[in-house]
Amino acid sequence: MKNYSPWAYIPSLYFLEGLPYVLINVVSAALYTKLGIPNDVFAFWTGFLYLPWTLKMFWSPLVDSHSTKRRWLLGGQFLAAAVFAFTALSLSWDSFFTASLLGFAVGAFVSATCDIATDGYYMLALTPKQQGSFVGIRTIFYRLAMIFGGGTLLMFIGYLETHTSKTVLSWQLGFGLIAIIFLLGATYHAWGLPRPIHDKPALSKQGNIPFLESFKTYFSQKNILYILLFVLLYRLGDALLEKIITPFLIGTPQSGALGISTAQLGFIKGTLGLGAIIAGNLAGGWFLGRYGFKKCIWPFAVILILPNFFYAYMAWAKPEIYTVAALITLEHLGNGLAMMAFSVFIMYISQGPYKTSHYAISTGIMALGMMIPSMLSGKIQTALGYEHFFLLSAFLSLITLAIIPFIFKIKSLEETEKLFRQHNPQLGDAD
C-alpha cells in the first residue's frame, strides 16, 4: 500500500458513516413531528430501525470473509445515495409514512453494513500508532455528521419552510441534498481510498468462514458479563431521550413542548453544538490519553447522564430560548467527552484476528441497548406527559453509574491500554 495520509480519507469516511444514523434515528423524529405523526406512533416504529445495528453482529463475519472492506463500504455509500433519493421522493406520496419508513429501514441495513466495513477498514489501513492517534479524529467527524444532520440540515430545511411555506417540499430538498452528498463522497472514495495489503477475506485455519469462531472468541472473553453490562447500559439515558428530544423542542406549546422553530433548533445544534462537540471530543481524547480509561470513566459517566436532568428542568420550567440553547450546548460538550470513553472501550475489547467482527458485535449489542428504550419512550411520554417522562428518564439514567464499578474488574482493559499508550500516549491527538 502506498503511503497515504489518513487525513485524506478518515475524516470523510467517518462523516459518511455518521450521517445515516442521525438521519434515520434522530432527524426522522423532526420529520414525522412536522408532518403530524403522533409521538407514540413514530417513536415505536422508528425504534425498530435500530434493528439492523443490533443484528449486524450476525452478518459481520460475512463482511469479514467475502470481498474486501473497501468494496463493502464503497458499495454501501453508493447505495445510501439511492436510498435517500427514494426517501425524498416518497414524502409527497399519500402513503409517505410507510414508504419513508421502508426507505429508512433499507438505509439502516446499508448503514449497519457500512459501519462494519468502515471500522474494519480503519483497523486494517492504519498502523496501531495511527489507530490511537486518529480515534479522536474519527469520533469528531462521526459526531460532526450527527451535528450536520441534526443541526445544519434542520436549519436549511427550516429556512426553506419559512420562505416557501411548503413543508413537504422543504424536507424533500433536504433529503435530496443528503443523496447528493453520499454520491459525491462515494465517488471521491472510489478514487482516493488506499488498498491495504491485509484487506482480504478472512478465513479460518481450515479455510472455512469464521462465523462461529468470531462469536466464540468474543463471548469467551474474560469478564464478558461485565463487558455486556457496560455496552448495553452505558447509554441508557441517551436511549430514553433520543426519540423524544426533538418533538419536545419543536412541538406545540399546547402539547407541553417548547415550540421552537426547526430553524432555531438547527441553528443551536449546527453552530453552538458544532463547537461544543469538537471541544468535547478533543478534550475527551486528551483526558483519556493523559489519565487512562479507568480514571476518566467515572466523571465521563456523570457528564453523560446530566442531559436527562437538563430536559427534566426544561420540561417543568419552560425557559427562554437562550437557556435552552445553553443547556443543549452543554449537552453536546458532555456527550462529546463521554462518548470518547465508549469508543475507546469498544476499540480495546475488539482485538485479535476477528477484530472487525468483534467491533461489530459490540456496537450491535449497544444498538440493542438503544433500541428497546427508544421504542418504549414514545408510549411512556404520551402516557406521562413531558414533565414526568423526563423525571423518570433522569432517575433511570442513574443505572449508568451503577454499572461503572464492574468495569474495574476487567483486567484486559489495562493490558490493551498499555499497548496502545506505548504506541501513542495521546489518544486524542493526530499525527
Query: Each residue of 129-168: pLDDT tens digit?
Result: 777 778 778 878 887 898 899 888 999 999 999 899 899 9
Q: Is residue 428 part of a domain?
A: no
Identify the residue with better confidence: 126 or 155: 155
For 326, other C-beta atoms within 10 Å of its C-beta total 15
Q: Is residue 200 part of a domain?
A: no
The distance from CA 240 to its chain's CA centroid, rounded to whole angstroms, is: 15
Q: Provide the domain count of the chain.
A: 1
Output the nine-digit C-alpha cell for 158.
Answer: 427550516
Q: Report the chain's mean pLDDT, rounded to a whole number.
A: 86
Which percentage of the chain shows pLDDT scores above 70?
92
CATH code, domain carrying 397: 1.20.1250.20
Report the pLDDT averaged over residues 90-117.
94
Chain segment 323-346, per-residue pLDDT in tens:
999 999 999 898 888 888 888 888
- Is the pLDDT confidence value at 251 over 70? yes
Cβ-defined contacts of 171-177 (< 8 Å, 24+): 171/31, 171/34, 171/35, 171/88, 171/91, 172/88, 172/89, 172/91, 172/92, 173/88, 174/88, 175/23, 175/84, 175/85, 175/87, 175/88, 175/91, 176/84, 176/85, 176/88, 177/153
Which of 103-112, 308-317, 337-346 has the least mean pLDDT?
337-346
Q: Is residue 123 part of a domain?
A: yes
pLDDT of res. 128: 72
Q: Is residue 256 part of a domain?
A: yes
What pTM was estimated for this model as a whole?
0.77
Q: Is residue 371 part of a domain?
A: yes
pLDDT of res. 422: 58
- Please give the Cα distance from 36 to 274 (Å, whole number): 29
The parent domain of residue 279 ranges over 6-194+207-423
pLDDT of res. 402: 94
Is the CB of residue 128 less than 8 Å from the CB of residue 419? yes
The residues near 105 (Cβ < 8 Å, ≥ 6 apart) are 48, 49, 52
Chain segment 259-301, per-residue pLDDT in tens:
999 889 888 877 787 778 888 888 888 888 788 888 889 999 9
- Please give the Cα distance from 108 to 92 (Å, whole number): 21
Q: Is residue 430 part of a domain?
A: no
